Chains A and B, each alone.
Chain A
């Protein structure tokens, strides 16, 4: 009871927060299902449902009536707090302080029914959501899973409709899906129901037969298993190759950005993930790569005017060199001293590039333009759909190098340094060489990414290289899973790709990003796709506890 009160209060505060920062209102302009429910209302309902579920889950006794009561109460409180906001808002003008407390917001919250009826509607809606969540908690596991997947896909189809529509339109015959599924704003009702049934049926089938297929695969003799694996890899490569054609211009652009961050992430993964050197100024090498390419190729400055391929080796050499140069002064520093010193380096590079002092060579605040595109024969890497292949090649190369390095003697030395510097040194590892090699390799990858970035944009500006990029990359590798190569890719998709997709809600992008990072780390500290070793480390204590508990039980029993 007390728990559900608390959960309800938290939920109510969250909903008030979402309303006051203007998210509900902004999201209401988009319908998930046309004329039925908007994104703003969906957001509020999801919060209420989640709180109801949480209240149900935290119920100590198993009685289903009690569970329902708890989730009902928490939902009621969520509704109650929101209606409190409406009442206060109707009495006092909150707009003097909260810019988003506009009449439109209250209209949305009260379903356009005025304050008095609206308050009752809100309380009812909250209680109903809570009770539904309680029912959901009590329903069998398979039903829960199917419901989550199919409702989730309806919501995501609604959220991503602006991306899905033009993509479907590209596929010729599939364009018919558009008419069936989408209206100008939101899904059609029959489309939503159809999608629900389709996805529900599919996930039901998969949960029944999926494990059977997997065990069937494992029971196959080794030879066909290998063939199947090869085939799936081939299919993957094929998909990767045709991706930009299939996805269209905008999604290819997103892909190229994700790819650049994968390159950066893989580089930083060597420094932070393998060698354990927290580098918060990694953007410095990205900037050095971009600017080296720009200075070497751009006719605007007229120093060299090399072509992309002539300049690229020099760019990477420059990156490696600067990695060693900036790595040397920080060799003796540890932990957070290192972090802040590298952060300083990142800023120093940006400020130098921006300054009037170096303007004749680096262009100052106006940057450098007219950077030529890369060519292979007659093929120009012009737009995102072409640059994609360049980035893909870079990523594959860097992934290959990372994998080989990880399993090499050097890779093991890095990990030894990460685990304990003093012990590693005592075991005969040359700390200076090991650390400098980590900085140099990471910097080389980053410079490669920077070069592609510069050629993709055709110009470089100092403001593209601020601290936020460094912080973003650190987040990518830690959210993905420290030291894990697939983790970097997953992290880049989650933290760079998804926010790019929701560009139209740009104002709330970083809000959601920040709000998502906290629970992600609280519930999955090892990252989305961790290395096997790390996963074990993170769950070591739980396992020990489980073991000791079971041994206790054995003793007492």
Chain B
């Protein structure tokens, strides 16, 4: 067994493991240095972790859309980041109207639900239109072609929203019940972060059980397994693909509102970075794998918020927080070196190069 394994090792493997090992060594060294230096207390780490969880669960929600679309169409839906942006940006006007009329302060829960619904509806509408106009005609085209239409659609949506609503940042109204913090003894948690984490967890659980338990979800899984066979079994493929985009749009719209509640602003370019991060999460977890996307998102969020202080601070690197994205992508490369198909492995029926 071991002999055969040794025979199969190539020089490239060795080089790759060396690179991976070097990164791991750096991480280990940096972490021990930071922890022994004791610059941060337990509370700091707790705050980092909570922030990372909140951020990560938003990534995870967006990543669900990426991963499901990828599973069913085998394409990077590059415009998904704009689906994410459209929802909260449109809902902003509802929120602002509620705020100025005092409705938001009077009935905060009802208004929050309304804002959520508007955001999810807008994102879903955009996702479905996107599928109809930019992707459906290209379903049989080589895989790079829909990537380009997706990029085109992404620019189009960004600049349409910029033209509609202006190029500045719009400050989201403050929801009073989400301000402040809860404290257990010495540990404090900001209310809105807790709400983001809980809401994202509920949504993900709902979506996952929808895909796993219901007939419709089963049909979607069948289509991503094998389009032709499921068509022979009487499944309407077009409908299933649209349903996938609906689910993706809904989760992106919800994630968008959570993002807006967390950072309290919207902008026409706000989708770009979270979009890339979410796609990275989907890849991290294994494309086409829904639990993988959730895991990948939370992993990425945690790495981003804990990583700079933990890995780099001890090495004496100035302003480590600037390097958080570099750490996130390094972790991605690291994971892919050892597991080329993501943490949980991809769930694609036919491996496509």
Contacts and interface: CB of A to CB of B under 8 A. Distances in A.
Contacts of A521: 138, 141, 145-146, 148-149, 152
A20 interface: yes
Q: Secondary structure of the A side of the interface?
A: helix
Given A21-B159, A354-B322, A515 B10 contact: no
Interface string B130-161: 00011001101111111111011111111110
A21 B151 contact: no
Nearest to A18: B163
A421 B146 CA distance: 22
B16 A340 contact: no
Nearest to A420: B353
A312 to B, nearest CB: 29
A475 B133 CA distance: 19
Contact of B160 (A17, A331, A522): A17
A478 interface: yes
With most chain A CB atoms within 10 A of its CB, the pick from B11, B154, B328, B329 is B329
A396 to B, nearest CB: 28
Interface string A333-377: 111110111011101100110111100000000000000000000
A345 B158 CA distance: 25
A172 B117 CA distance: 65
Given A355-B319, A511-B160, A522 B149 contact: yes
A525 B144 CA distance: 10
A331 B155 CA distance: 31
A328 to B, nearest CB: 5
Interface stretch (A47-55, A95-103, A194-202): A95-103
A357 B318 contact: yes
A98 B164 contact: yes
B304 to A, nearest CB: 12
Contacts of A479: 148
Contact of B159 (A337, A420, A510): A510
Contact of B156 (A22, A354, A515): A515
With most chain A CB atoms within 10 A of its CB, the pick from B93, B166, B326 is B326
A312 B153 CA distance: 39
A517 B150 CA distance: 9
A336 B284 CA distance: 11
Contacts of B133: 518
B283 interface: yes
A348 B328 CA distance: 9
Contact of B353 (A17, A421, A541): A421
Interface residues of A, number: 62
A329 interface: yes
B251 interface: no
B159 A340 contact: no
Nearest to A281: B329
B32 interface: no
B38 interface: no
A528 interface: no
Interface in A58-109: 96-100
B163 A20 contact: yes
B317 to A, nearest CB: 5
B152 A517 contact: yes
A507 B164 CA distance: 12
Contacts of A335: 143, 352-353
B106 interface: no
Given A329-B337, A478-B148, A518-B152, A21 B164 contact: yes
Interface in A408-438: 420-422, 432
Given A335-B353, A344-B280, A348-B329, A511 B148 contact: no
A100 B163 contact: yes
B184 to A, nearest CB: 36
A144 B76 CA distance: 40
A329 B141 contact: no
A21 B351 CA distance: 43
Interface string A500-541: 000000011011011111101110010000000000000001
Given A332-B340, A432-B10, A347 B166 contact: no
Interface in B237-281: 276, 279-280
A317 B132 CA distance: 47
A337 B283 contact: yes
16 contacts: A329-B16, A331-B12, A332-B340, A334-B352, A344-B330, A345-B329, A348-B326, A354-B322, A421-B353, A475-B148, A508-B159, A510-B155, A514-B153, A517-B149, A521-B145, A541-B140
Q: Which 8 A-B pairs have the closest CB atoms?
A: A21-B163, A517-B152, A514-B155, A344-B329, A514-B156, A511-B159, A99-B166, A351-B326
Interface of B: 10-12, 15-16, 19-20, 70, 76, 93, 133-134, 137-138, 140-149, 151-160, 162-166, 276, 279-280, 283, 287, 317-320, 322-323, 325-326, 328-330, 332-333, 336-337, 340-342, 351-353
Given A97-B165, A334-B340, 20 more contacts: A21-B162, A97-B164, A339-B76, A340-B280, A341-B336, A348-B330, A352-B323, A354-B322, A357-B317, A357-B319, A357-B322, A432-B12, A471-B151, A514-B158, A515-B155, A515-B156, A517-B149, A520-B152, A521-B138, A521-B145
Interface of A: 17, 20-23, 96-100, 272, 278, 328-337, 339-341, 343-345, 347-348, 351-352, 354-357, 420-422, 432, 467, 471, 474-475, 478-479, 482, 507-508, 510-511, 513-518, 520-522, 525, 541
